[in-house]
Chains A and B, each alone.
Chain A
Amino acid sequence: MKAKIHVTLKQGILDPQGKAIEHALDSLGFKNAANVRVGKYMELDLEEKDKAKAEVEVKAMCEKLLANTIIEEYRYELGG
């Protein structure tokens, strides 16, 4: 099973990279773009056929290592 994991800074926490990109987009004429948030994307293969068990495992990975929940939030998709 493949897990696709996204980690971003929590809403309300200043994302300086997002701000810089937002300014760059603005200066390129993309006036409709707002609230740019930069994050990390990770994917991994899990030796697990049971989706519920896979979910428990991926959640544990996110909580323990992949995200720092003081400043970051995560979401994931399981499939394949």
Chain B
Amino acid sequence: MKIGVVVFPGSNCDHDCEHVFKDVLGQYVEMIWHKETLLAGLDAIVIPGGFSYGDYLRTGAIARFSPVMGAVKEFAQKGGLVIGICNGFQILLEAGLLPGAMLRNRSLHFICKDVHVRVENAATPFTNACHPGQVLKIPIAHADGNYYTDPVTLAGLKANAQVVFRYCDADGRVTPEANPNGSLDNIAGIRNAEGNVLGLMPHPERCAESVLGNEDGKLIFLSMLESLKKNKKPLKMVEA
């Protein structure tokens, strides 16, 4: 598979994503500078973590207007798989590819630690290698991960099984204590209504090989490859 990793000024998890897809999973990876406007021949796109544009104004607020984002939007509209991790999630929210917004963490602290998330929907292209309710240990590293959306949108997310990951304790209990940042409904990751765009705050690329002592994150990337293999066919065109 050919995976595109978008690089913004200030991205800093781009090479970790490249490493996982290339060296751990043996895929072809193309690094895509944010000035690019054409994305040809890619099977999936990763919007990596970091501090695009120094987080100025709001996280992701300026990156969403980078030239590449028009192409990412088009790719997503044609049904291409897009995963946004941490700052990538924030960018997808600002771009309107996913609903909602990020607030500063409830504690006001930058939090960098392992957390547990429960797989709420295992029937997505990003979680098909997991079983429903499986608990994954994945690190977070962010100051603005406090997910917020209005009550109507939240109800829609729940009704359409768009909440993919929730913060939980080691036993899978979704509790206020297990919520590291104040996210609404313990939300750690959501997908769009069509199901081909995922955003999550935890960093699966930081725990995707045995040498790191934790391979839970690998399940997400394996799911993507599995889904791509199954659906390897020309992307359907969007009706004008």
Contact = CB atoms under 8 A, between A and B. Distances in A.
A70 B90 CA distance: 13
Contacts of B61: 65, 68
Interface string B135-170: 000000000000011100000000000000000000
Interface size bracket, B side: 10 to 19
B150 A70 contact: yes
Contacts of A9: 103
Where chain B touches its partner, the secondary structure class is loop
A13 B40 CA distance: 41
Contact of B101 (A14, A16, A20, A70): A70
A68 to B, nearest CB: 5
Given A13-B103, A13-B148, A14-B182, A68 B94 contact: yes
B103 A71 contact: yes
Interface string A51-66: 0000000000000011
Contact of B108 (A13, A20, A65): A20
Given A13-B103, A14-B106, 8 more contacts: A40-B57, A66-B57, A68-B58, A68-B94, A68-B101, A70-B149, A70-B150, A71-B103
Interface of A: 9, 13-14, 16-17, 20, 40, 65-66, 68, 70-71
Interface of B: 57-58, 61-62, 65, 94, 100-101, 103-108, 148-150, 182
